[in-house]
Amino acid sequence: MMDVKDDLVTSRLTQTMTKVKNADTTSPRGQRNVSVGITTPDGQLALTGFNFNIRAIMSAVLLSDISLTTATGEIVITAFTPDQNLEIPLGATHVSFTSGFLNLDFATGDKDLQLSPETNLPIDNTNTTVTLTPAGVPVGTGT
């Protein structure tokens, strides 16, 4: 957890989004776009498991099972005990969780981001279930 900054996130995301764009096999070469590619199984697969910080991968920091309800954006972390289920940075006393549920139209750039309220917990041996429910389901014509 010492130095978790990922200086290459932009290039890694660009490379991944290029794969998404290339999944658009209906548009002519040179005119392919992400808004079509993201609707294909290959385009969606390219984004599956993408980590925004390769030096602090979520599964290595948060050692708990996470469930997601895709219809509502609700995330549940059951039986979470911070002292046992979290890779804790030196000196940390609390952990905060928040989540986002996004509808993004890659063709128009329109977006609707719904955030959950923040949950703040002391880092101790208390077992709890963390539920993150966005303010609403995002609307729009995007993905």
Do 72 and 45 share a structural domain?
A: no
Whether residues 98 and 139 share a domain: the answer is yes
Which residues of the chain fall short of a pLDDT of 70? 1-4
Same domain, 37 and 95: no
In three-state secondary structure terms, 25 is coil
Q: Does pTM top 0.85 for this prediction?
A: no
Q: What is the pLDDT of residue 4?
A: 57
Is there a contact between 97 and 110 (Cβ–Cβ < 8 Å)? no
Q: What angle is formed at CA 1 by the lines to CA 75 and CA 87, rounded to 5 degrees? A: 45
Of 79, 91, 94, 87, the C-alpha closest to 124 is 94
Domain boundary among 60, 76, 94: 60
- Tell whether 47 and 85 lie within a shared domain: no
Number of domains in the chain: 2
Domain span holding position 108: 62-143
